[in-house]
Structure 1
Amino acid sequence: MNHASAAAVLVLLLFGPLAIAKIEHNIELYCLALGVLATILGTGFTRELISEALHEPVAISVAVIIAALLFGWTRRRLDRVFNRLRKRVSRPVLTAAAIFAIASISSVITAIVGALVLVEVIGLLHFTRDKRVRVTVAGCFAIGLGASLTPLGEPLSTLAARALNLGFFGLFDLLAPWVFPGVLASSIVAGAFARGEYDEAPAGAHVRQSYSAIFVQAGKVFAFVAGLVLISSAYGPIANEYVSKMSNDLLFWANTVSAALDNATLVALEVHRMTLPRAREAILALLVSGGMLIPGNIPNIVSAGALRIRSGAWAKIGVPMGLIMLGIYFAVIKLLG
């Protein structure tokens, strides 16, 4: 693919979802269409590439279906457990503990199902509108970080493991010492946002996913990851040429653009042939930046849609929280570097 074609497709990929709401709401199919276009403009389809694009999304798509079905079958029991806990545990402590638990297992149940559980929990904790927004944003930061630890967790981790040739636990070994402090900090912040007594407001949204909706969601995830595999393959040589010229520090802060884009998109473009320490820094920046705005990560999109959170309200909490976390991560990286 020549540089002019690559630039044109990249502009469509990065700014199409920001410019047109219908594209943002159907970003998975849009990404697949652009992946097909980029491949046609590039080296074209090969049997190996088709096989990879069809094989890579299978595990995470199946995980979405299984986890969503299990959540649907156990949701009422979860509701009963929380109703009992509300009588014994203060709301800040229960909020922080619940979000930490959800985020810690989101790499197994997937970020999508983690976000659905978060929405259910937020409804059971009875927040006013402002507190609901703040707790949801902090919770999605935690889930976005926690889901990165296995290839099943989210598209970003699926593509990162593929690009870095890591096994199932490779991302855990690479990221866990850095991710869990961020998950814990985000959970504590969510607990601080939840200060106050229960029953300040009526219960919020509850999750009611039909079987058809679960399979549609899994199909969208399949299309999204397949599209990113195609994009990754088409842009691999160009990304290697330009990203390799950027210092680690410049790449870390440049990745803050993933606040406005799905962070999996940038992973698909960036991490080819990176050393693991450099890839870790880039991925951490993408994970944190992805929580700053609604389009940045799948948990944000799921939660904001279910709870009807507007972009401006999300940014008011997400941007300062994300910048503080990025600053802390950057300082620790430099200190240990």
Structure 2
Amino acid sequence: MIAGLIILLLVILFLPFFVKVIEHNLEYFLFVMGIIGVIISKQMNLKLFEHIIQNRLIYYITFAVLIAGMLFFFFRSRINKMIELLTNKISIQFFVFILVLILGLSSSFITAIIASLLLTEIMHHTPLERNTKLKVIVLACFAIGFGAALTPVGEPLATITISKLKADFFYLARAIGLEIIITILLMACLSALIVKKANKVDKDEYIENKEGIKDVFLRAFKVFIFVFALELLGTAFKPLIDLYVIKLDAKILYWVNMISAIVDNATLAAAEISKEMTNEQVRAIILGMIISGGMLIPGNIPNIISAGKFKIKSKEWAKIGIPIGLILMIAYFILVFVLKI
């Protein structure tokens, strides 16, 4: 069973980079891999599907994407005019800096889902070439992923952590607040720097939103499949986590939690976080999860929503996300474990 799960993990990690059909249909691929995973781990039963179907978060995410998509669809012209007005009054790099900063910091209260929906729609209307938008989106998703961990409102990872530790509302803000704020500022600065070096295109030159109402519904359905798949994968890999991961030293846990790039981090948190852990161990686990969550598309809900909206390929995301993630992993490893800041 364990060997089968390890092989499955490797298939999920590498196949989307080499097979175009899978890359373009990542949601359905992960769903199939999730089914195979629960079969391998011998957890395939009706109770599992009942549990997932009864999870309100799946419907909240799906309907948030659907409703936001419909609102943006019907008010597209007004949004476009507003952004055009703003970018004419202030520099585009300052606009992007403020956007990433505000969405990153506010995601802990408006949730990572709403923050990413705002990001995708606003970025769609900015007069920038696709490659520049792609880089900004990946950086912004890192910022949103970090910011959402400040409070239990932002995302399930934080909610589960607070619940498992029986901690107060601002526990994570105290534990990793400094790292979160620094990272959000860093992502905002990098985004502004990228935009400054890029060419601002004329309105007639950049790609307008051509999606119809059918596309809005299809995107919401794909997000539903994606989240369902992540639930299946989290369940499938739980025996592997229980057997090997949770027994590891905090320093090793930090790096091992890079599997959060493809496995639901809420599932990992539920399996790993314990009230008996030290603050250092909790910091290591949470930081490892939220950093690696930005590295690949399945790693975080904001990534999934943004990639679906902009049709970002796995290779495109990884080309930007992995280097940034690795640099952050090394930097925070030194800060937390070497310098013990």
- Kindly report the root-mean-square deviation, in angstroms, between the aligned alpha carbons of the 2 structures: 3.9
Give aligned-pair identity as a percent.
32
**Alignment correspondent of 2:271:** 272
User: Cα distance 1:312–1:27, how it changes in 2: closer, same or farther (>3 A)?
Assistant: closer
User: Cα distance 1:323–1:201, how it changes in 2: closer, same or farther (>3 A)?
Assistant: farther
Compute the TM-score of the two structures, normalised by the length of structure 2: 0.75
**Alignment correspondent of 1:215:** 217
User: Cα distance 1:117–1:310, how it changes in 2: closer, same or farther (>3 A)?
Assistant: same
User: Cα distance 1:219–1:135, how it changes in 2: closer, same or farther (>3 A)?
Assistant: closer
Q: Equivalent residues in 2 for 1:172-191 (5 A)?
A: 173-174=171-172, 177=177, 178-191=179-192
User: Cα distance 1:84–1:7, how it changes in 2: closer, same or farther (>3 A)?
Assistant: closer
Give the C-alpha shift of residue 114 in structure 1: 4.6
Compute the TM-score of the two structures, normalised by the length of structure 1: 0.76
Specify every segment of 5 or more residues in structure 1 that has no aligned partner in the other structure, as ranges: none
The letter of the residue matching 1:330 is: F
Q: Equivalent residues in 2 for 1:1-337 (5 A)?
A: 2-56=1-55, 57-106=58-107, 114-115=115-116, 117-122=118-123, 124-127=125-128, 131-148=132-149, 157-158=155-156, 161=159, 165=163, 173-174=171-172, 177=177, 178-195=179-196, 199=200, 203-256=205-258, 261-262=261-262, 264-265=263-264, 268-269=267-268, 271-275=270-274, 277=279, 278-292=281-295, 297=300, 299-300=302-303, 303=306, 317-334=320-337, 335-336=339-340
Specify every segment of 5 or more residues in structure 2 that has no aligned partner in the other structure, as ranges: none
CA distance in 1, matches of 2:293, 2:329: 11
The letter of the residue matching 2:9 is: L
Cα deviation 1:161-191 (Å, max 9, x = unaligned): 4587569x98975367243332222112211
CA distance in 1, matches of 2:170, 2:18: 36
The letter of the residue matching 1:53 is: I
Cα deviation 1:12-39 (Å, max 9, x = unaligned): 3333323322223322222222322333
User: Cα distance 1:45–1:121, how it changes in 2: closer, same or farther (>3 A)?
Assistant: closer
User: Cα distance 1:111–1:30, how it changes in 2: closer, same or farther (>3 A)?
Assistant: farther
Cα deviation 1:258-280 (Å, max 9, x = unaligned): 6xx53x44654565042374354
1:102–1:143 contact (8 Å) kept in structure 2: yes
CA distance in 1, matches of 2:32, 2:193: 43
- The alignment covers a number of residue pairs equal to 329
3-state SS of the aligned residue for 1:238? helix
User: Cα distance 1:214–1:98, how it changes in 2: closer, same or farther (>3 A)?
Assistant: same
2:17–2:314 contact (8 Å) kept in structure 1: no
Cα deviation 1:70-89 (Å, max 9, x = unaligned): 33344333222222222322
User: Cα distance 1:241–1:190, how it changes in 2: closer, same or farther (>3 A)?
Assistant: same
